[in-house]
Amino acid sequence: MSDIQSFKAEQKYETFSYLPQMTDEQIRQQIQYLVDQGWNPAIEHSEPENAFGSYWYMWKLPMFGEQSVDTVLAEVEACKKENPGHLVRLIGYDNYAQCQGTSMLVHKG
């Protein structure tokens, strides 16, 4: 039984929430994938108690055409700093399909 990894019971919010918390490097790789797909990054945040509602606050406008992972990460950090108790998620908008290509929680407040 010691070989089985135990997961704490906690709220599951977005893509990857059933996996262990991503490292900073893994988040960077996910942002790189998002940019490589040509998707437009956007950042949203919400209070944990309102996270299951359909409305999250948008952090600035989506970053249309942004190709720099560092720029996206800087905006994630600015959002976290401005809203320390909030959940922060990163969204990749797909222009071609006119929908979200991905959405993942990058900070659990």
Structure confidence by residue, pLDDT tens digits, 1-37: 455 555 555 666 666 767 788 899 999 999 999 999 9
pLDDT in the model for residue 108: 87
Cα gap 40→34, rounded to integer Å? 8
Residue type, 43: I
Cα gap 50→56, rounded to integer Å? 8
Quick: pLDDT tens for 90-100.
999 998 999 99
pLDDT in the model for residue 100: 92
pLDDT in the model for residue 70: 98
Quick: pLDDT tens for 53-78.
889 999 999 999 999 999 999 999 99
